[in-house]
Structure 1
Amino acid sequence: MAQKLAFTASSAPSAVEACDALIRAYGQADEAEADVIVALGGDGFMLQTLHRTEGLPAPVYGMNRGTVGFLMNEFADDDLPERLAAAEEAVINPLRMTATTVTGEVRKALAINEVSLLRQGPQASKLRILVDGKPRMEELVCDGALVATPAGSTAYNYSAHGPILPIGADVLALTAMAAFRPRRWRGALLPKTARVTFEVLGGDKRPVMAEADARSVRNVVRVDVESAPEISHRLLFDPGHGLEERLIREQFA
């Protein structure tokens, strides 16, 4: 029996054109009833698709119609059923962010790649870091800090000189951005079960914002970050081009 495929595309003209061609070739199923959801675009669109379809049973197979396409497969408009039948699955868990603002408002969001704290103004942020409720760093002066999953370790985390994590590793990367004090602090590797708390020091003069996969909360005073193992995202990759291989290859680029 032929697989039921649901196609979705970013607004990029190349993605829309490819999506229309694939729908003509293979038909269009409802996402809730599909065997596979095929996303056409870049990594940003893949993250949007994973968040949007988080409660659906179908895995997501991405084809790159964007720029980097780390989470995507190469685009081709032929032999798609054969590629899907041979695809390898990777299962990833997101992070849960709980951010408290200066007004006492509590905002929650999920992040597949990372949760980051960033200074809002010209002055460096000052952060106090706790792990599982235990103070680990009384004051980190920096442009920001983030907690990244293995799947997100090659994104913002890597640009901030954080480590690339194997996709099966049960660890999270805690990375500072432009750390001023301690000047040489390069971050930490934490168990996946760890709960990381950032407390903003002097936020009235040094305001800080938090982001979970580009969803922002401004003027935070506290941000809690922990893995959400009860939520799983299933991604499909062509054989030999899965996340494990990409993470290794990226380290030798």
Structure 2
Amino acid sequence: MGMVTTVGLVLHPRRDSKEAIDVIVEWARARKVTVLGLPDEVGRIDCSAEAVGPDALVERADLVVSLGGDGTMLRTMRLLAGRSTPVLGVNLGRLGFLAEIDVAELQPALSAIDNHDFTVEPRMAVRASLPDGRRVTAFNDIALVRIPGDRLAAVAISVEGDPFVRYSSDAVIVATSTGSTAYNFSAGGPIVSPRVEGFLVVPAAAHSTFNRALVLSADEHVALELLPSSGELAVEVDGAVHGRLSSGDRVTVTAVRGAGHVVRLGTTTFYERARRKLRVTGSAEVD
């Protein structure tokens, strides 16, 4: 008997996913596999997927297929955070870091997964406790970002309760290894292998003498406190605004090991994807 009995779908809000869904539905029909989708997503596409709420999809699916790009993959992983359900990413546009295949490869990929012929790449998340009591989880990054027209982000960083540095910058980013190729990279932070269980604290456009990134263990926690000189800051979770902070507010961030599980079929490596996506080249001096 195959591994897959129920497939869940998460769709990009705008890209055309009809071709991919048709492939999945046809593959599932031939194997008596149930296909689930979120009501507001499959409702706009003529398909036979069963519309269920997020909780039911998370509970029932033993494989979730993300159709879109890295943003859709991040949303899918947040939906499943803390569960062992594998996520297969399918590109519907630009090359990404998390999606594994294109639509043309979808049918053989589903069969390979059904036959247990795949590996799972665990992905760490970071989780923050906000001053209003909410907890947010990100697979790329949690960033405290200066609001245009307001003062700089002035943030004190403490690790395991020990004060370490005060940043004055446009933003302070707490990034996972997954997120090292996102906002962290644009702020000058390092590219980190997804196998590394640790996270980064990085200032963006720092206006202070110390402008280096910190690399922390997944066992450590970091506190970010807004200093009296700080402007109001937006809290961004994987790029989406989840609230605002004022001077005196404090956010504590911890790592969550194995919060997501990404399907890998051995077709490409992280370094191949990074070279292509980031257009990494060597120095002209060595060519």
1:128/1:140 contact within 8 Å kept: yes
Deviation for aligned residue 1:185: 1.4
* One-letter amino acid of the counterpart of residue 264, structure 2: F
Pick the structure with greater CA Rg. 2
2:146/2:171 contact within 8 Å kept: yes
Alignment match, 2:232: 207
* TM-score, structure 1 as length reference: 0.86
2:146/2:153 contact within 8 Å kept: yes
SS at 1:228 equivalent: strand
2:153/2:172 contact within 8 Å kept: no
* One-letter amino acid of the counterpart of residue 154, structure 2: K
Q: 1:7, 1:106 → 2: CA distance?
A: 31
Alignment match, 1:88: 119
* TM-score, structure 2 as length reference: 0.76
Q: 1:251, 1:13 → 2: CA distance?
A: 24
* One-letter amino acid of the counterpart of residue 142, structure 1: S
SS at 2:81 equivalent: coil
RMSD between superposed Cα atoms in Å: 2.4
Percent identity, aligned pairs only, is 27
Alignment match, 1:133: 161
> Structure 2 regions of 5+ residues with no counterpart?
37-56, 282-287
- How many residues of Structure 1 are paired with residues of Structure 2 in the alignment? 245
Q: Residue 198 of structure 2: which of 150, 171, 190 is its match?
A: 171
* One-letter amino acid of the counterpart of residue 11, structure 2: A
Deviation for aligned residue 1:8: 3.0
Deviation for aligned residue 1:21: 3.5
SS at 1:24 equivalent: helix
Q: Residue 10 of structure 1: which of 9, 12, 18 is its match?
A: 12
Instruction: Summarize the Cα distance change of 1:64–1:134 in structure 2 as closer, same or farther, 3 Å threshold.
Output: same
What does residue range 80-229 of structure 1 map to in structure 2 within 5 Å?
A: 80-84=109-113, 85-100=116-131, 105-122=132-149, 123-137=151-165, 139-182=166-209, 185-202=211-228, 206-213=231-238, 214-220=240-246, 221-229=249-257
Deviation for aligned residue 1:215: 4.3
Q: 1:94, 1:60 → 2: CA distance?
A: 15
Instruction: Summarize the Cα distance change of 1:207–1:174 in structure 2 as closer, same or farther, 3 Å threshold.
Output: same
Instruction: Summarize the Cα distance change of 1:243–1:86 in structure 2 as closer, same or farther, 3 Å threshold.
Output: farther
Q: 1:46, 1:81 → 2: CA distance?
A: 17
SS at 2:173 equivalent: strand
Q: Comparing both structures, which one devotes a greater share of its residues to helix?
A: 2
2:84/2:260 contact within 8 Å kept: no
Q: 1:111, 1:196 → 2: CA distance?
A: 15
Deviation for aligned residue 1:40: 0.7
Q: 2:8, 2:109 → 1: CA distance?
A: 13
Instruction: Summarize the Cα distance change of 1:118–1:147 in structure 2 as closer, same or farther, 3 Å threshold.
Output: same
Q: Residue 85 of structure 2: which of 48, 53, 58 is its match?
A: 58
1:7/1:23 contact within 8 Å kept: no
Q: 1:222, 1:65 → 2: CA distance?
A: 39
> Structure 1 regions of 5+ residues with no counterpart?
none
SS at 1:23 equivalent: helix
SS at 1:25 equivalent: helix
Deviation for aligned residue 1:149: 0.8
2:168/2:206 contact within 8 Å kept: yes
SS at 1:145 equivalent: strand
